């Protein structure tokens, strides 16, 4: 099978490319040429900007993709450009979406009011009712956040009769090359020998979907090669979502950290989100319908991420709901840290 990736040279794309090549497929990536990645020998490259896919139609036609995978459809315009260009060129489109399409996510980020949404979220759970969740943080109409929304992307992809689409809703992905450095703030604390990590009590119990980059890539590859995925939507996530405290403990075990995880009363640590709204996803459908299963042992996945984080320490750390050490020590001194109910040691 010939597979064309729109994007493909940053984080998940190279893992997907390696996976598809390993399965014996022919792969080409389309990107601007700004992001460098080591891709397997024989992977084709078509350079251009996705805002002008039309100008590369001849090259797309020469490659003759069976399936086009859009790694970077962020706006309705992106999705419209994709279907217009590929409806006559490819048999199927697979689009990488996100768990942020769910109404629960809107509640979590405080973008939509209402009661707590039940989780784990299935593909049939309600979507957000309000579009453009990050527009409030956009600096103007040209800002990425102004037009970002995967809901209109999904509508276009699933509504196109001549290019059957598949939508994959991704979790929070970790692994070597993670552009969001999701583990780095915890690893730094542990490597600095911090005696305790303090989490807001609600955040400690918060559940979100996670996945290791190689496994997420494998899930995408599964949907690429299997026509049963046509016109279907799939959540991609680990089978059971840990709470944040459980996740920190697992990282700690992998790092060899023996400190404590302590709960601070809600309100003591400023948080921009509503941590009483879980956003964990049920990934049963892709497992049942496409026989997807992770292939990386969880301990190995975490060890790979940690090794990469240690070898590539970020200059700035962005840990959700984490304080600087001085403030953390002050709070720990105040709330105790080993006795409940305030300052309850969690794990
Ligand atoms: N990481 C997560 O935790 C997470 C969670 C949920 C969903 N997702 C979804 O995963 C996808 C991104 O994954 P990734 O970053 O790993 O993707 P990737 O496909 O590995 O990398 C992004 C690619 O897009 C190319 N690109 C950027 N702007 C372009 C443009 N205007 N025209 C052509 N090419 C362009 C980049 O290359 P050049 O710079 O060379 O152009 C690069 O190849 C997104 O759809 C995101 O919403 C990720």
With a Cβ cut-off of 6 Å, ligand 1 is lined by 7-13, 31-35, 49-51, 71-72, 96, 98, 170, 172-173, 180
Q: Which is the closest atom of ligand 1 to the Cα of 32?
A: 41
SS (H, E, C) the chain: CEEEEEECCCCHHHHHHHHHHHCCCEEEEEECCCCCCCCCCCCEEEECCHHHHHHHHHHHHHHCCCEEEECCCCCHHHHHHHHHHHCCCCCEEEEEEEHHHEHHHHHHCCCCCCCCCCCCECCCCCECCCCCCCHHHCCCCCCHHHHCCHHHHHHHHHCCCCCCEEEEEECEEECCCCCCCCCHHHHHHHHCCCCEEEEEHHHHCCECCEEEHHHHHHHHHHHHHCHHHCCCEEECCCCCCCEHHHHHHHHHHHHCCCCEEEEECCCCCCCCCCCCCCCCECCHHHHHHHCCCCCCCHHHHHHHHHHHHHHCCCCCCCCCCCCCHHHHHHHHHHHCCCCCCCCCECC
Q: Which is the closest atom of ligand 1 to the Cα of 172?
A: 3
Partnered with residue 261 across adjacent β-strands are 197
Residue 75 lies in a domain: yes
The pLDDT tens digits for 266-277 are: 999 999 999 999
Q: How far is CA 323 from the centre of its chain?
A: 24
The pLDDT tens digits for 24-65 are: 999 999 999 999 999 999 999 999 999 999 999 999 999 999
What's the 88 CA to ligand 1 centre distance in angstroms? 24
| Residue 342 scores a pLDDT above 50 | no
Q: Which is the closest atom of ligand 1 to the Cα of 99?
A: 6
Mutate to test the pocket of ligand 1, among 8, 10, 45 (most ligand atoms within 8 A of CB): 10
| Residue 336 scores a pLDDT above 90 | no
Q: Which is the closest atom of ligand 1 to the Cα of 174?
A: 3
The pLDDT tens digits for 100-128 are: 999 999 999 999 999 999 999 999 999 99
Question: What is d(CA 240, CA 208) in angstroms, rounded to the nearest whole number?
Answer: 10
What's the 97 CA to ligand 1 centre distance in angstroms? 11
Question: What is d(CA 62, CA 199) in angstroms, rounded to the nearest whole number?
Answer: 54
Q: What is the pLDDT of residue 347?
A: 57
Residue 275 lies in a domain: yes
Mutate to test the pocket of ligand 1, among 3, 5, 12 (most ligand atoms within 8 A of CB): 12
Report the relative pairing of strands 67-70 and 233-235 from DSSP bridges: unpaired
What's the 169 CA to ligand 1 centre distance in angstroms? 14
Q: How many domains does the chain have?
A: 1
CATH label of the domain that carries residue 75: 3.40.50.720
Ligand 1 atom 24, closest CA: 7
Mean pLDDT of 188-208: 96
Supply the range of the domain harboring residue 119.
2-335
Residue 346 lies in a domain: no
- Are 157 and 93 in contact by the 8 Å Cβ rule? The answer is yes
What's the 100 CA to ligand 1 centre distance in angstroms? 16
Residue 341 lies in a domain: no
What's the 341 CA to ligand 1 centre distance in angstroms? 44
Confidence of residue 337 (pLDDT cuts 50, 70, 90): low
Residue 345 lies in a domain: no
Q: Which is the closest atom of ligand 1 to the Cα of 51?
A: 31
Residue 61 lies in a domain: yes
Work out whether the CA dihedral 243, 247, 248, 249 comes out positive or negative: positive
Please provide residue 97's backbone torsions phi and psi, each rounded to the nearest 5 degrees: -115, -155
The pLDDT tens digits for 173-186 are: 999 999 999 999 99
The pLDDT mean for the chain works out to: 95
- Are 151 and 127 in contact by the 8 Å Cβ rule? The answer is yes
- Are 285 and 122 in contact by the 8 Å Cβ rule? The answer is yes
What's the 69 CA to ligand 1 centre distance in angstroms? 11
pTM of the model: 0.96
Mutate to test the pocket of ligand 1, among 6, 16, 31, 150 (most ligand atoms within 8 A of CB): 31
Mutate to test the pocket of ligand 1, among 3, 7, 151 (most ligand atoms within 8 A of CB): 7
């Amino acid at each position: 099978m010939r597979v064309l990736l729109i994007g493909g040279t940053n984080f998940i794309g190279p893992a997907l490319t390696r996976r598809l090549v390993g399965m014996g497929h022919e792969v080409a990536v389309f990107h601007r040429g700004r992001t460098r990645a080591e891709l397997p020998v024989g992977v084709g490259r078509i350079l251009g900007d996705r805002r002008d896919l039309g100008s590369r139609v001849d090259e797309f036609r020469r490659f003759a993709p069976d399936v086009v995978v859009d790694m970077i459809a962020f706006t309705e315009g992106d999705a419209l450009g994709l279907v217009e260009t590929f409806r006559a060129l490819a048999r199927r489109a697979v689009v990488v979406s996100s768990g942020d399409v769910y109404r629960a996510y809107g509640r979590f980020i405080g973008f939509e009011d209402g009661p707590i949404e039940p989780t784990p979220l299935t593909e049939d759970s309600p979507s957000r009712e309000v579009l453009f969740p990050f527009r409030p943080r956009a600096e103007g109409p040209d800002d990425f956040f102004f037009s970002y929304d995967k809901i209109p992307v999904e509508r276009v992809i699933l509504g196109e009769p001549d290019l059957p689409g598949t939508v994959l809703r991704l979790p929070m992905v970790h692994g070597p090359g993670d552009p969001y450095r999701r583990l780095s703030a915890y690893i730094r604390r542990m490597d600095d020998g911090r005696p305790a990590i303090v989490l807001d009590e609600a955040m400690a119990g918060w559940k979100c979907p996670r996945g290791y980059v190689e496994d997420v890539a494998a899930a995408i590859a599964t949907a690429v090669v299997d026509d049963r995925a046509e016109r279907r939507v799939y959540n991609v996530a680990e089978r059971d979502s840990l709470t944040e405290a459980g996740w920190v403990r697992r990282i700690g075990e992998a790092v060899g950290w023996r400190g404590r995880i302590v709960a601070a009363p809600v309100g003591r640590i400023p948080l921009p989100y509503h941590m009483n709204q879980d956003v964990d996803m049920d990934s049963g459908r892709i497992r049942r319908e496409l026989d997807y299963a992770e292939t990386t042992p969880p301990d190995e996945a975490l060890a790979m991420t940690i090794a990469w984080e240690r070898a590539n320490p970020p200059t700035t750390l962005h840990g959700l709901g984490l304080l600087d050490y001085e403030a953390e020590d002050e709070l720990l001194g105040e709330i105790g840290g080993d006795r409940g109910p305030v300052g309850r040691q969690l794990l």
